[in-house]
Structure 1
Amino acid sequence: MDAIELSLFASRIEAVCDEMGAVLQRSAFSPNIRDRLDYSCAVFGPDGELCAQAAHIPVHLGSMAYAMRDLVGAVDWAPGDMLIVNDPYLGGTHLPDVTLIAAVFLDGRLIGFVANRAHHADIGAEAPGSMPVSKRLDEEGRIIPPALLLHGGELDEALFGEITAATAAPAVTEGDFTAQISANRVGARRLQALADARGGDAYLQALAALNDYAAALAGEALAELPPGRYRFTDYMDDDGQGHARLPIRVCVTVDADRVEVDFTGTAAQTPGNINCPLSVAAAAVYYVFRCLLPPQTPACAGSFRAIHLSAPAGCLVNARRPAAVAAGNVETSSRIVDALLGALANALPARIPAASQGTMNNLAMGARGPGVSWDYYETLGGGMGGGPEQPGLNAVQTHMTNTLNTPIEVVERFYPLRINRYAIRRGSGGSGRHPGGDGLIREYEFLAPAQVTLLTERRTSAPWGLQGGGDGQPGMNRLNAEPLAAKVALDVAAGDRLSLETPGGGGWGEP
């Protein structure tokens, strides 16, 4: 393939992912997927190798790329098959993230897969929002091991009914799953048409060429890293179960054509839910190195051929069943990014930015009772770290998430909540030649009793500055003006007010 033909092919296969995302968003029932955009879509080759992805959520996409080979290799696929999974230890991330994988055939030949992953605000946990302050995986909701939800195009009604019946609002859950199924069906048709237009053999050759091109671009970019070993240690605030300041240690070893990322020395898995499977750690590692690559680099497996990952089994970033993982996917992944950027700042001091807010500020809430059933979940933006060329942005989602804050109008329409304040947290970014971005303040007033869970970080440790820049301010959680713990579950009454003040980003360079 010449350069123009390869570029067109890359755009066409990425457009399949984009269209899948549009179908999923527009047909989903829940605000979490429809308005907050907590979903991701990707295309894979027949062996499970990543071929393309939309600009969706890094923690979803990187973990799928890491785990897909094992998932698809364990199934005897037939046309019309679609697999469902959320088990974090078998290819998932945390239980609310449910993945659907559809096989794509051309003239009876398996040519690849389309997949989407969406966050369900209710996946059957006792705590509304299915993000509890948990100690075991089974407390976090229904565990779905890899299983065929559709076989030969026919829905397994029994399995579908079991999954949806475990939720408090089965009709909403059914709508969201149907949206995921529809997105995969559209993606499968588009991918089949793309392959048919080229011919099956030519399509697979184009995939190989695309990955080779990505590997070449990545190799040139990684060659700018000076050979050597670069270390950094950052810390999780706590695990919600009394264990504080848990280290994440990373050592990056750069050789001529290989980069090894080793997490030896990281804290052991902990009783709280900030553990994560290795696939989530891989997603954070892939994300950081993807940021170093040229913008035209295809988002496919070839981009990561030179990146190798290791972590001791049973540590915080390579946990073993039945460790709780609800916050590992969202909070620990964010700290892995911070630790890896800190290490790479020693190798590329003129390219690496200061730490961003380092948390997704997870808020889950809802109610259960006679005639009352609702679940709500969102993450909140904060300050982006200042960088070598520009200051950090204010009040944005950073690094491992790429979602939106739910619009106030949607929150107040669907839930017994009022948003009293939504503002930039002025002065929370770190000082510097390029200051860190400010966090935000969001205050909720409850119009009815509810249960609330907070899973937040950077409430004690500050987002660090670089090259003489100041640290960003840690975040703060308050109920009726009284401070709350970073990770807490509580009951609230009508009239109570919950305020989240999110961290600012670190500053870069001497002020």
Structure 2
Amino acid sequence: MVLHEQALPDFVREHNIDHVTLDIIENALKNIRHEMDRVLVTTAVSPIIREQADEFPLIADRQGRMVVGQFGSPVDTVLEHSPYKVEDLKDGDVIALNDPYMMEGSTSHLPDILLVRPIFYGGDHIGYALQWGNLMDVGGSTAGSIPIDARSIYEEGVRMPPVKLYDAGVLNEEVLRFFCHNSRTPRETRADIMAIAAGTAAGAQRVKDICDRFGKETYLEACDALLDRTRRSVIELIRRHVPEGQRFEFEDYTDDDGLGNGPIRLKLAMWREGDTLNLDWAGTDPQVPGPVNFLLNKRMFQMFVGVFLISAFDPTILFNDGYCDVIKVNIPEGSVLRPKEPAPLSNRLVVMARQFDVLSAVYAKAIGFKVSGSYGTSPNFVYSGVNKNGEPFQTMEILYGGIPAIPGKDGLDGHSWWPEFLAVPAEYMETYYPLVVEEYSARRDSCGAGQFRGGCGIRKVYRFLADGRITYQDDRYHTYPYGVDGGKPGSPSKKTLVRRSGESVELPSKVRDVPVFEGDRLVFETAGAGGVGDPLSRDPEAVAKDVRWNLVSQEAADKEYGVVLKDDGTVDPAATEARREELRKSRGELPEFDHGPLPPLEEQRRIIAETRRKFNEWLSHELGAARANGAR
């Protein structure tokens, strides 16, 4: 169906605003988004927001459509599930909630709290400022509110429906006190919520400043024009880059659900009909008992689909909700991407990461050139206990794996998918919590080999200075981050607990409440990312540099890249050419997608179930021993 045959949204029309004014307002809105970021991260307390910036702001128009932001606006679903109607809202109101099921997965687990502030100018409602942030703890059965063995959302923490945190500018202390009372970290929770509220206040004020400068009607017209301009631009990208009349499919797997069920398949098909891009998750596995279910908001996924095109072909385009109607999405009800309430959701990050991998691969097939390999991992890590002064402590951080290679460029080492996320500095962790970070480095040989190599995962070694417990969720332990167009997969993740006695125990990718004691160490290794292109086509000098920087071993340089180095570390050109010719003759045809040396699916299921069974037996013994020794 071509553009003129479609029922166009109301905002798609001729706009009575000049291009210069529109560009000024667009950039002002972008700056507002970044100011909201800065207000929050500089006033929050917890490391996951203050140091890592695990938060997202957006500005929506008066219909609730995102004009600037990253995730798509949940305003419509929030108001649908709340007792408040648009006409009842007042200047200074702030609606708060953290229940993913009451906002269709716009935030995807209970630690993410969302604040929605309506914006008024001259008594008229003109839009919304929204911001959410990842809190340290919202209750539930384990510290950090990410229990890997939860079987319902009721085990994962307190669920707050839409309530007014502020009513006409007056703080509702009872709501805030109730929510904080259910958190193991009430001080951090209160401070972070107030910081998120401050971010929305900054956003609302800056929108009013635009109206002061240009007038309310001009601002409202600019919002419509920006949505329209993005829509037209994305339609042009779809026309130009996605062929019509062909269906492109891909599937990949998440390891397991934390209870021994897996691997879990995600399958996606994409095709174009005129200006409409269709995406269908039919064939994706049903929801699972454990908490890796990911309630994928359709509008958010439409954003991801469009953002890929924008990032790959024209980053000058402002991504917003303007193009949602030209991207049609089917997510089967009851699937791992659309679980039914009250399915647990706390460890949804592993499936979220895999849906990006699958989307990237579908685009790689559709666009006609190989886009990127597969991402490493991005796990949460929690350490909690009681310090030597008898005071309880709890920290949380997100760790990062390798970013996949793209044609023409190596992947980044130990980086988040979200560009503005940061690592928590070791100095911060050591100052505020009883631990020492003995090592934080790129994990050698974890990067998928290729003409352009994938990013390395990280190796982080914690030494604990107080008895406590650790909880984390990760993935890519049983499966590999795939390589593309002859590129090799990245290395799987690995966790090793080294007791003070010297005993070493390999842990699975998802654990909760593992007892640790003063002097124990945890070696936390995240997965590398997939490479792109034939490794034997990689510039030998680039391989030599990777060896010098300890990203690739000399053995891997020889085995994977066919690069022979002299004693001084420089390339031996003649020996390298001979070694590469030897490797070319001994190998078969390079695969389009290399998923690594995986056993058959049924054998994978058996291994995953057996790994979890053995770990549960070991953990039961360790918890019994800890209780016998009086550990808390």
TM > 0.5: yes
Deviation at 1:366, TM superposition (A): 1.1
2:47–2:396 contact (8 Å) kept in structure 1: no
Identify the residue that residue 433 of structure 2 maps to in structure 1: 415
2:564: which partner in 1? Answer: none
Among 84, 91, 111, the alignment partner of 1:79 is 91
Q: Give the structure-1-normalised TM-score.
A: 0.94
1:454 and 2:472 equivalent? Answer: yes
The answer to whether structure 1 residue 479 and structure 2 residue 494 are counterparts is no
Q: Which residue of 2 aligns with 1:506?
A: 530
Alignment-derived partner of residue 22 in structure 1: 38
Please tell me the residue identity of whatever aligns with 1:131.
I
Pairing partner for 1:394 from 413, 434, 450: 413
Q: Give the partner amino acid of 1:97.
A: D
Tell me which amino acid in the other structure corresponds to 1:491.
P
The aligned residue for residue 242 of structure 2 is 225
Is 1:233–1:250's contact at 8 Å kept on the other side of the alignment? yes
Structure 1 residue 362 displacement after superposition: 1.6
Q: 3-state DSSP class of the match of 1:422? A: strand
Q: How does 1:106-505 map onto structure 2 within 5 Å?
A: 106-133=121-148, 134-223=150-239, 224-227=241-244, 228-279=246-297, 283-284=300-301, 286-293=303-310, 294-328=314-348, 330-350=349-369, 352-357=371-376, 359-367=377-385, 371-398=390-417, 402-480=420-498, 481-489=504-512, 490-505=514-529
Unaligned residue ranges in structure 2 (runs of 5+): 1-16, 499-503, 536-632
The residue matched to 1:244 in structure 2 has which SS? Answer: coil
User: Structure 1: where are the runs of 5+ without partners?
Assistant: 54-60
* Aligned twin of 2:56: 40
Q: Distance in 1 between matches of 2:193 and 2:423?
A: 22
Which one has more relative contact order, counting CA pairs under 8 Å at least 6 apart? 1
Separation (CA, whole Å) in 2 of partners of 1:311 and 1:104: 33
Q: Shift in Å at residue 211 of structure 1?
A: 0.6
Q: 1:2: how far off?
A: 3.0
Richer in strand (by share): 1
Using the TM superposition, give the Cα deviation of residue 191 of structure 1 relative to its aligned residue in structure 2, in angstroms.
Answer: 0.9
Deviation of the 1:210 alpha carbon: 0.5
TM (norm. structure 2) is: 0.76
In 2, Cα distance between equivalents of 1:5 and 1:21? 25
Computed over aligned residues only, the root mean square deviation of the Cα atoms, in angstroms, reads 1.7
Distance 1:299 1:231 in 2: 25
The alpha-carbon deviation at position 460 of structure 1 amounts to 1.2
Superposed structure 1 runs of 4+ greater than 6 Å apart: none
Displacement of 1:360 in angstroms is 1.0
Give the secondary structure class of the aligned counterpart of 1:135: coil
- Partner SS for 1:212: helix
Question: Residue type of the partner of 1:272?
Answer: G
Asked if structure 1 preserves the Cα contact closer than 8 Å seen for 2:370 and 2:485, the reply is no
**Does the 8 A contact of 1:439 with 1:503 survive in 2?**
yes
CA contact (8 A) 1:468 1:509 kept: yes
Give 1:394's aligned amino acid: D
> Identity percentage over the alignment?
29
Quote how far apart the aligned CAs of 1:201 are.
2.0
**Contact 1:297/1:303, CA 8 A, preserved across alignment:** no
Partner in structure 2 of residue 97 of structure 1:
112
**Structure 1 165/118 Cα, relative in aligned 2: closer, same or farther at 3 Å?**
same
Query: For 2:415 and 2:159, how far apart are their aligned partners in 1?
Result: 32
Q: Spell out, residue by residue over 1:430-461, the C-alpha distance to the aligned partner (whole angstroms, 9 max, x if none).
A: 11111111111001111111121121011111
C-alpha displacement of 1:125: 2.4
Q: Mean alpha-carbon deviation: is it higher for 251-260 or for 288-297?
A: 288-297
Q: Which one-letter code corresponds to 1:453 in the other structure? A: T
- In 2, Cα distance between the equivalents of 1:427 and 1:284? 33
AA partner of residue 18 (structure 1): H
What amino acid sits opposite 1:321 in the alignment? E
* CA distance in structure 1 between the aligned counterparts of 2:281 and 2:374, rounded to whole angstroms: 19
Number of residues of Structure 1 aligned to a counterpart in Structure 2 = 498
> For 2:76, which of 63, 69, 76 is the aligned residue?
69
* Contact 1:452–1:491 under 8 Å retained in 2: yes
